[in-house]
Homo-oligomer: A and B are copies of this chain.
Amino acid sequence: WQVSADTAKTEGDLEIVSEDGTFSATLGGRIHFDTYLFDSDIEDPVSTTEFRRARITLTGKAYSWKYKLEQDFAAGDTLAGFREVWLGHDFFGGIIRIGQFKPFRAMEELTSSNEILMLERPFTTATGIYDGRQFQQGIGWNNYWDCYTAGVMAFNLRNADTPRNEGVGVAGRFTWAPINNPLTTLHFGISYSFENANRGSEPLEADADYAGRRGPSQLIALTPGDEDFFFGDFDDEEFFFGDQGGTVDALGLELAGAHGPFYAQMEYTYGDYEGDYNVSEAVFEDFFDAPPSFECDPDFGCFIGDQDVHAWYIQGSWLITGEHKPYNNKKGVFKSPKPRSPWGAWELTARYESIQNDEISHLEADSWIVGVNYYHNPKVRFMLNYRWGDDDFTGDGTDQLGIRAQMNW
């Protein structure tokens, strides 16, 4: 028998590591299959089944460089399917990466979709205040020490699926876990993000999917980019006038902890969406799904200046089978528990989240979620969420029952 000097391994994935450690490669993946049932109100979304994620993930190492190439087939086209795609190298103890990955912003944003507490991420992430800007293209560095993590990224305002443009941004995050032992973790974090729209940039928006995936959404704030955005003439039925470009600043705070089978996490993010534009009432309603809640000028329409956006949530869980939610001190986020018994782990979950625009009266959405997670083994999880959505601006109160069957490898 001829035997290999290189080691082949599997935990449901394919992995080969060379004898001297110079090279390695892994092919993994994940399937998240959802069912959504809506209890509709003013909005009336269609209930359905849907693949939330169906990904392959290639990671590897050659000499001192690493790569990751992740594609989500559930995205429809292969550019929309780009997730983490980068090459990286050790740099001052951490790793420097070039390509597409997540800017260092919210704690739950940086938590793997295999390990998030609820079906969807909260309003402090790209599911809310950073709407649609989960992945960006650029260069970044991150590192960790005993109880600290730090990460920073400079990026072009796009991912593989959004238009070519000259917008730029930067984001950074720092976390501190003063207590972190097998029983108890206490975590503090802070992040800052700056985005500057420019030639060819899409609008920067905060947007709330307050009744879950495939439910209704409420636009919370909009900073224009540069995509044929300005049209019409004052006094027309439909117009939009003002300065192009604009910036978005955001500051996020994190507080989280776990003690035995209990876990709680909260984040607050304040965003300043730059504005200096006028829209007609018709355009306002087209954007925000309801008439303006303030007086608009009969000639010049509705003026929208800088918009202060507040997003926050608090979530927690109780592992009734007694497991503990471990802390990933390399990334500064919590992970999923590993079931202790052959019957798996059961977790009760709850979250309240809210997002609002201070400048436009009643422009606010929030939701309550309660749920159950069942971890059958370390690779398979089932989730159930009931979500009460509430859109103050339109008055809609659509609710959603969501179920997920999930396997990753």
Contacts and interface: CB of A to CB of B under 8 A. Distances in A.
A358 B98 CA distance: 44
State the main secondary structure of chain A at its contact with B: strand
Interface string A5-29: 1111111111111110001111101
A290 interface: no
A341 to B, nearest CB: 13
A64 B342 CA distance: 11
A327 to B, nearest CB: 24
A46 B9 contact: no
A409 interface: yes
Interface in A67-88: 67, 69, 71, 73-79, 81-82, 85-87
A64 B377 contact: yes
A4 B18 CA distance: 11
A227 to B, nearest CB: 11
B158 A377 contact: no
B69 A71 contact: no
A160 interface: yes
A382 to B, nearest CB: 9
Contacts of A407: 62, 65, 67, 87
A164 B50 contact: yes
A294 interface: no
A156 interface: yes
A27 B405 CA distance: 22
Contacts of A76: 77-79
Interface stretch (A53-61, A122-130, A253-261, A298-306): A53-61
Nearest to A38: B166
Interface string A116-146: 0000000000000000000001100000000
B12 A156 contact: no
Contact of A99 (B33, B100, B137): B33
A16 B25 contact: no
Contacts of A384: none
A42 interface: no
A342 to B, nearest CB: 9
A75 B73 contact: no
A376 interface: yes
28 contacts: A1-B3, A1-B5, A3-B4, A4-B8, A6-B9, A9-B16, A12-B60, A14-B16, A14-B27, A25-B27, A27-B58, A31-B86, A33-B86, A48-B158, A49-B138, A49-B156, A49-B158, A50-B137, A50-B164, A51-B160, A56-B56, A62-B377, A62-B407, A63-B379, A64-B377, A73-B78, A87-B380, A98-B405
Interface of A: 1-19, 23-27, 29, 31, 33, 35, 46-51, 54, 56, 58, 60-65, 67, 69, 71, 73-79, 81-82, 85-87, 98-100, 137-138, 156, 158, 160, 164-166, 199-200, 214, 376-380, 405-407, 409
7 A-B pairs closest in CB distance = A12-B62, A48-B164, A8-B8, A62-B379, A73-B78, A10-B16, A87-B407
Given A3-B7, A46-B164, 11 more contacts: A3-B3, A10-B17, A13-B60, A14-B14, A14-B25, A49-B138, A51-B100, A54-B82, A62-B409, A65-B380, A73-B79
